[in-house]
Structure 1
Amino acid sequence: MAERVVITGLGVCAPNGIGLDAFGEAMASGKSGIRFISELKQLEFGCQIAGEPLLTDNRINRYFTPLQLRGLNATGIIYGVLAGTDAWNDAGLPKADAETPDWDSGILFGTGTLGVAKFREAIHLIDNKEVRRLGSTTVIQTMASGISAYLGGILGCGNQVTTNSSACTTGTEGILMGYERIASGKAKRMLVGSCSDSGPYVWAGFDAMRILPRNYNENPENASRPMSATAAGFVPGSGAGALVLESLESAQERGGKIYAEVLGGAVNSGGQRGNGSMTAPNSEAVQRCIIEAVRNSGIKNSDIDTINGHLTATAKDALEIENWSRALDRSGPNFPYINSFKGLFGHCLAAAGSIECVASVLQFEKNQIFGNVNVEDLHPEIEEQVDRIKIPLKTIDYTPKILAKASFGFGDVNACVIFKRFID
C-alpha cells in the first residue's frame, strides 16, 4: 500500500514577499511585487518591469557562510537556498550532524537556467585569456544541479539529491516526483521546489519575442492581467518556492505540523502536435493531464472546489479555462473557484510552479482563497464559461477542501497536482 504524503514545511522567496509571513500577508492583501527596473530601461528593453525579490545583504548572510558567499552571484541559488532552508526549518527538521547524512531525507530542487550572470562573467574572463581567475565556484554555480547541491550540503541529506528542469512546469512536476519517491517508500522526506535566476540576461529572450507587456513601464502593478480582456503578455519574474513533503507516518511520529495532503497528480506532454507547439500547449494533452490527475488522486471531478491555474496573462488564458471546463465537465456557477497569482508577482518561469504551490497551500492554512488582481475587465470568452463569482477580485473567506494546481510549460509539457485539506 502506498504511503500517504503530507506537506510539513513551506518556504518562499518571492517578488512580493520573502518568508512565509510576509508572503502570506502580501497574497491575502493583494500586494504586488512587480516594479520598474531601471537596468532594463538602460538596456532599452521594451518591457522595463519585472517581479524580483528584494534581498538585503544582512538577510543573505544568515543563510551562507563567508566561504559560500565568496564569488557567489547566481541569484537562483541564493533564492533557492533561502526558500529551501526556511521550508526545512518550518518543518521543524534538524540539519544532519557533521559526520552522518540523513539517509531518509532527499532533495529534488529544479531550475530552468542557473548562474546566467556567472556564465557571463566566465565568458568575459575566458575571452580575455584569464581562465585562472574563474575561481573555484564557477562550476557549481552554473551546473543545473547547483541549487540541489548547495541545499544538500547545507542540510546534510543522504537520500536522492537531484534537480529537474521542465521550463514553467518545473516546480509542479518536482512536487509530483518527490511525492512518488515517498509514496513508494524510497524516502521519508523530500525537500522539493524550484528557483529561477533574475536579470536582463534571463528576461531578454522573452522581450525579443514581444510577449511581455510594453505599455505599463510607468504603471507596473497593473501590467500583469491574467484572465483580463486587456491582458498584454506576461511580466517576467524570479525567486524560489520550497515544500517539505513527508510520509504521514513520519510526520505523525515526530508530531510535525501538517499543512495539507498531496493526493497525487499527473505529468504529460502534448508532443508539440495538433494545436501544441514549443510555446503553446496541446489542449488535448492539457485535458488528459487534468483528467489523469483526478483519477490518480482517487477523487471525483465534483470534489475539486478550488483551482490555481497557470494563466499567464496572454491570449491563451481563455483556452486554458476552456480546457479546465472540458476536463472537469464543469462550467458556469458549477465551476470551482479559480485564481492566478501571476497578477501579483509575474511569471517566475521555472520558479512559478513552486511559488504558486506554496501560495495555494497557504490558502488551506488561512481558510481563504486569494483574490485575482487586474481582472475587473474579465475576458468575455472566459465569462461565457465561468460565473464571475468564481473568479474573486479580492481575497475571500472560504475553506478549500480539494485544490488542483497546474502548470503548462514551454516544450508543450504539463503537470497537475491535487492538494487536500488534511483530515487524519
Structure 2
Amino acid sequence: MTKKIVVTGIGTTSPLGGTAEETWKALLAGESGASSLLQSWVAELELPVTFAAQAKVPAAEVMERIELKRLDPSTQFSLIAAREAWADAGSPDVEPERLGVDWATGIGGVWTLLDAWDTLRERGPRRVLPMTVPMLMPNAGAAAIEMNLGARAGARTVVSACASSTESIANAYDHLQAGLADVIIAGGAEAAIHPLPLASFASMQALSKRNDTPATASRPYDISRDGFVLGEGAAAIVLETEEHAKARGAKIYAELVGGAVTSDAFHITAPDPEGSAAARAMIAAVANAGATLSDVAHINAHATSTPVGDIAEYKALRRVFGDALDAIPVSATKASTGHLLGGAGAIEAIFTIKALQERIAPPTINLTEQDPEIVLDVVTAPRELGSGDLLAISNSFGFGGHNAVIAFRSV
C-alpha cells in the first residue's frame, strides 16, 4: 500500500537569507543574492567573472569555531540547514534505527581539496591536515548530519551534478515507501565559489559575464540571457510518513507525492536539445503521484539562464503539457538565488513547498524581454495559485544528462 509522505520541517542557508523564512520573504520581495566578489584572489588571478551569489549569512556567524575548523564549507552549510529543518519539525522523537539521511552535493569539498594541495606544494606533506580526506569527501555532509542527529537508518549521498538534491529527495520518498525509515532528512549543499570552479565554468561559457550588474545577471528566459550565476548554500527538508507525523502532532507543510529520475545518454555538459528524457522524468513523477498532467498547477523550473539550457527545458515542458502549458504559472527562482549546483534542487523544493502552503507562486526577476522561442506563463510578480487541491513539480537537470523531478501536493 502506498504511504503518504509529508514535509514537516524546512531549513536553508542561502544567498537570500540565513533561514528558510528569511529566504522565502526575500524571494517574494524580488531580491537578488548576487553581488561582486571582494576576495583578493579575484583580481590576483584575473578571473573573467567577478561576482557570484554568496551565502548571505556566513557559517562563521552561526557555528562554533571547532566545527568550522573540522568541516569543509559545504558541510558547514549542510549542518546549518539540517539543524534548522530538524528544529522546525519539532526535533522528532524517533528511534535512531528509524531515522535516515538522504543528502547530496554536486562537487563536495572543493575548498578543502584545493587548499590542501596548496599546502602540500608550498609547505610539504607534514603540514597537510589529517582531517583532509574526511573533510573533502562528497559524503561528508550526510555523515555530519547523521552523527549530529544520531540517524542510524542509513546516510546516503547522491552526486549527480545539478540534479543531485532533487534526486536525494526522490530517493527519500522511495526509502520511506519501502519502510526503511519513519523519518528522513533530505536535501543538499554546495560551496564552490572558489577560483577554480569559477574559472572553469567561465571557460566553458556557462557563466554570465555581467560583472557590472551582478544583481540582474541571472535572467532566465530573457532574450539577453548569457549564462548562470554561481551560488552557494544548502537546504534541507524533514520527510516522514503521515502516520508518524500525525501520531506526534506535527505540523505539515505539504505532501511529497512522487519523484522520478531519468538520463539523457546524450552529452557530458549539453542537455538533449529535444528534452525527451527530461520529459519522461516529469511524466513519471506525476504518474507516481497518482495524478494526471492536468492536475499540475505550478512548476518550479530548472531555468539556469543559459541560452541552451532554458530552450531545452522549455521543449521538454511543451512535449509534456502541450497547449495546457500556456496556463501553468512557471517560476524560475535561480534568477534570485543564483545556481546552487548540487544544492539547487533542495532550495527549489522548499520554494515549491512554500508556494503550495501559502498558495502563492514566487517571482522570476530580471525578465525584461522574454525569448519569443520560449512561450511560457512566467511568474514575474508574486501570484496567487488559487484554492483547492494543488499539485506542483520541481525540475532539476545536471551535467552528464541527469534529470530529476519531484512532485508535491498541498494539504
Normalised TM-score (structure 2): 0.93
Where 2:311 maps in the other structure, the secondary structure is: helix
What is the aligned partner in structure 1 of residue 358 from structure 2? 366
Q: Deviations over 1:224-265 (max 9, x none)?
A: 000111111111111111111101100000011111101112
User: In 2, distance between residues paired with 1:129 and 1:314?
Assistant: 41
Cα deviation 1:183-234 (Å, max 9, x = unaligned) = 11111011001111132233221011122111x2121111000011111111
- Structure 1 segment 167-246 matched on structure 2, within 5 A: 167-197=161-191, 198-214=193-209, 216-246=210-240
Give 1:37's aligned amino acid. L
Kept after mapping to 2: 8 A contact 1:309/1:406: yes
Q: Hey, what does 2:410 align to over in structure 1?
A: 421
Structure 1 stretch 1-10 or stretch 317-326: which is displaced more?
A: 317-326
Q: Does 1:2 align with 2:6?
A: no
Structure 1, unaligned stretches of length 5 or more?
none
How much does 1:95 deviate?
A: 7.8
The CA deviation string for residues 112-159 of structure 1, in whole angstroms up to 9 with x for no partner, is 222222112222333356333333321211111111111111111111
Instruction: Check conservation: 2:304, 2:339, Cα contact below 8 A.
Output: yes
How big is the shift at 1:415?
Answer: 0.7
Aligned counterpart for 2:129 among listed residues 135, 141, 160: 135
Query: Residue in 2 aligned with 1:278?
Result: 269
Is the CA contact 1:376–1:393 (under 8 Å) kept in the aligned structure 2? no
Alpha carbons of structure 1 residues 57 and 266: separation in structure 2 relative to 1, 3 Å? closer
Instruction: State the Cα distance separating 1:70 from its structure 2 match.
Output: 3.0
CA distance in 2, matches of 1:78, 1:68: 8
1:411 is matched with 400
Partner of residue 45, structure 1 = 47
Q: Secondary structure at the match of 2:345?
A: helix
Q: Which amino acid counterpart does residue 88 of structure 2 have in structure 1?
A: D
Contact 1:5 1:248 in 2 (8 A): yes
Task: Give the equivalent residue in structure 1 for 2:336.
Answer: 344
Distance in 2 separating the partners of 1:250 and 1:57 = 32
Distance in 2 separating the partners of 1:330 and 1:413: 26
User: In the TM superposition, what are the counterparts of 1:20-31 in structure 2 within 5 Å?
Assistant: 20-31=20-31
The percentage of counterpart residues that share the same residue type is 30
- The residue type equivalent to 1:412 in the other structure is G
How far residue 7 of structure 1 moved from its aligned partner, in angstroms, is 0.7
Counterpart of 2:146 in structure 1 is: 152
Conservation of the 8 A alpha-carbon contact between 2:300 and 2:352: yes
- Quote the offset at 1:162 in angstroms: 1.9
Structure 2: where are the runs of 5+ without partners?
none
Give the 3-state SS of the residue equivalent to 1:85 in structure 2.
helix
- Alpha-carbon deviation of 1:325? 1.6
Q: Which residue of 2 aligns with 1:83?
A: 81
User: In structure 2, do the counterparts of structure 1 residues 70 and 38 end up closer, same or farther at CA, with 3 Å as the change threshold?
Assistant: closer
**Alignment pair present for 1:391 and 2:386:** no
Report the CA distance shift for 1:319/1:112 in structure 2 as closer, same or farther (over 3 A): closer
Aligned residues: 404
Contact 2:318-2:325 within 8 A present in 1 as well: no
Alignment of 1:293 with 2:291, yes or no, is: no
CA offset digits 1:384-413 (Å, max 9, x no partner): xx3xxx312111232471101111110011
> What RMSD, in angstroms, separates the aligned Cα atoms of the two structures?
1.8
Distance 1:32 1:224 in 2: 9
Q: 1:59 deviation in Å?
A: 2.9
CA contact (8 A) 1:95 1:156 kept: no
Residue type of the alignment partner of 2:85: A
- What letter matches 1:12 in structure 2? T
Aligned-partner SS, 2:170 = helix
Cα distance change, pair 392–104 in 1 and its aligned pair in 2 (3 A): same
